[in-house]
Amino acid sequence: MSEYDVIVVGAGLAGLRAATRLAEAGRDVVLLEAGDEVGGRERTDVVDGFRLDLGFHVLNPAYPAIRRWVDVDALALRRFPVAVGVRLDDRLARLAHPLRHPSSIPASLRSGLVRPADVLALARWAGPTVVSARSAKTGPDRPLAEAWDRAGLRGPLRESVLEPFLAGVLADDRQQTSDAFVRLLVRSFALGRPGVPAAGIGALPAQLADTARRAGVGIRLGHRVVSTRRRARGWHVGIDGRDAVTARSVIVATGPDPALDVPLPPSRGLRTWWFAVDRAPSDDAALRVDGRRRGPIVNTAVMTNTAPTYAPRGQHLVQATCVLPSDAPEDVVRRQLSEMWDADTRPWRLLRRDDVVGALPAQDPPLRLRRPVRLGDGRYVAGDHRDTASIQGALVSGQRAAEAVLSDLAR
């Protein structure tokens, strides 16, 4: 039976960051992962030559944790325009970040989606947080829909743009998410320009895993933990079909698992459809939403207009995302896509459908930016449910769990 200072269960972003910090501090660490590769929800598979992420992901280089612990240049990030296309009844409108795309301002004003009163309401709601994150972290919090009502944010900007766009980001099409959290998220979009790694979102955990191995972390794939039992001098961890291991401390950095008996908050889900296309329906790389709200799709994008590396040469990849639960069949999805892209979707080939039930932890009000990582029994927990529902939150939670372990072991 092998013995370690710390066992980390789960090689997602939080687990990888926690294990790396512990190894850098000189601790003997093993990282146990049930799957066949690292990454958890941040995974990329190659299907018929197409790179398919596990659901639609973007990486925001403005996150402080990304700037601190990730080599963004090595990921060869392909960035989306800071813009959104909006399908309306009689036309396609396009709204863009006025500072990053100043030439788009006249078109945005002519779109009919940006009324002066709505712009002022949007500034009242988001402006203070864009200037300083502190404004979102202090004061009362409430559901997003209620906050928009109080700010006077109504009309087409809200109904046709913000609601469908944020539904896909938050996995929440009822605007019940914490207003404070959404304002912090909008701030990160305003300051950064999200994109995808050229090799897919899985390149992010792959890089973190390389860093962990160089620090001395032993990463064991195909090691599914089935039990954690308290012993006099630490923890006995059972592994399916393999010898058990022991450690003084255990960090649980996985999703819900009855075998681990770790309480987690409710989560929200997303469904992503991936289509192979011979001819791109548009050369626009911006995310597109349905301002008419006529179907299950909350956003869609031609991935290869941003990252040609996601498809074989001469082919294109289109994603379409819906909020779970959704019972919409494929023909309904294709019909809505044909309207959103003004294209014949019948020849499009379905590559895969991803149902990610636990895509994001529910971030309900009041916002708690720091949930405890100590379970109080010598075990610790990490994941974006401990901080914010984001890549930033996952990495920070892993760091926090590792620091708690180091502090307790030192005592």
| Domains of the chain in sequence order | 2-43+202-265+365-410 (3.50.50.60)
Overall pTM > 0.85: yes
Q: What is the pLDDT of residues 280-309, one digit of tens each?
A: 999 999 999 999 999 999 999 999 999 999
Q: What is the pLDDT of residues 28-40, one digit of tens each?
A: 999 999 999 999 9
* High-pLDDT (> 90) share of the chain, %: 84
Q: What is the pLDDT of residues 95-128, one digit of tens each?
A: 987 767 677 777 777 788 988 898 899 999 999 9
Q: What is the pLDDT of residues 381-410, one digit of tens each?
A: 999 999 999 999 999 999 999 999 999 999
The pLDDT, as a whole number, for residue 1 is: 55
Q: What is the pLDDT of residues 192-208, one digit of tens each?
A: 899 999 999 999 999 99
Buried b (16+ CB within 10 A) or exposed e, 186-220: bbbbbebbbbbbebbbbbbbbbbbebbeebebebb
**Nearest of 304, 295, 48, 278 to residue 198 by alpha carbon:** 304
φ, ψ of residue 45 in degrees (nearest 5): -115, 150
219: which strand partners? 31
Q: What is the pLDDT of residues 307-352, one digit of tens each?
A: 999 999 999 999 999 999 999 999 999 999 999 999 999 999 999 9
Sign of torsion over alpha carbons 23, 28, 32, 36: positive
* High-pLDDT (> 70) share of the chain, %: 99
Distances (CA, A) of 205 to 17, 134, 198: 10, 30, 14
For the segment 68-83, the average pLDDT, to the nearest whole number, is: 96
**Nearest of 398, 378, 376, 403 to residue 386 by alpha carbon:** 398
The pLDDT, as a whole number, for residue 68 is: 98
Instruction: Identify the band that residue 231 occupies on the pLDDT scale cut at 50, 70 and 90.
Output: confident
Burial class (CB in 10 A: 0-12, 13-18, 19+), 51: buried
Mean pLDDT in the chain? 94
d(CA 207, CA 73) in angstroms, rounded, equals 12
319: which strand partners? 274, 301
For the segment 369-379, the average pLDDT, to the nearest whole number, is: 91
